[in-house]
Amino acid sequence: MVLKNPELSINGKEFIWGSRTYVMGILNVTADSFSGDGLLSTDQLDDSFSKQKISDIVEETILKARKFLSSGADILDIGGESTRPGSRQIGVKEELRKVIPIIEAISAELDAVLSIDTYKAAVAEAALKAGAHVINDVWGLKADENMAGVAAKHNAPVILMHNRSSWAHAEIKSKLGGRYIGMEYNNLIQDIKTELSLSISTALEAGVPNRNIIIDPGIGFGKTVEQNFELVDRLDEFRSLGYPVLFGPSRKSFIGYTLDLPTDQRVEGTAAAISIGIDRGADIIRVHDVEYMVRVARIADAVVRKSLQ
């Protein structure tokens, strides 16, 4: 399937889909990220953020952002609310208090493409004004009816992710974290494609151009371990929708539950999933371990895309 638009320019940087795999590095400004990489102190609750020195957090984040960029990251994804099973939802004010200083500081000091990981329109708009360039919406424009309008107004690329997360179907183990059980689909891939198509229609109707749409099948979000593996294997089927595909298996529970390993020991499992995802046509990989996964992507690209960079 030919993409509706083969390339996209973001903040002066060209993304030519199919030429190579692009890497998105994750910057979690949280204390309870499932992956354990949150930039707030892990022994503090999220609502203690205002009591910490914002300057210290900003400095730490910039250091991590610099490392990601020097390691080969193409996009930095900044998020202030954990989306792990059982995580606490936060309000707009708290989320803004976390992400806006980070975005302002990085955009002022580094030449980078920044995405805001949020499903709240008010947060997305403030982030774009602060220096972000891309909206990464884990609910595919379905959680906030104003999100599509914000993307259109600012001519911002938007990542539309499929999501059927439900706390009622979440199982949490201390070592392995959360996973979803008993998630029912009539036809896994077709159901996800249908629901993504609805998100795409919402974006287009609001005035978002085709070139600004990226899709994400949402591995780990409302899928069982077995369904996640099927999703990895059949990732290429989402190419038929005509949009670049983002793939985010990094440190996810389907890896942990298969290997019986906690989040900080899933780099090899992530690498395996990433390699298969690239073979199945992923255009962007969203990862925590940027340095390692850039290397994985380059080797996979050399085989799959005959790209030696």
Q: Which residues are annotated as catalytic?
A: 252, 286
Pairing of strands 213-216, 158-161: parallel
Contact present, 305 and 266 (Cβ < 8 Å): no
Full DSSP string of 139-168: TTT-S-TTHHHHHHHTT--EEEE-----GG
Tokens 């997360």 locate to: 165
Around 96, how many Cα atoms within 13 Å sit in the side-chain half-sphere?
Answer: 14
Tokens 């990226």 locate to: 214
Handedness of CA 9, 14, 15, 16 (dihedral sign): positive
What is the gyration radius of the CA atoms in the chain, in angstroms? Answer: 18
CB atoms within 10 A of CB 226: 11
Which pair of tokens denotes residue 132?
A: 């972000």
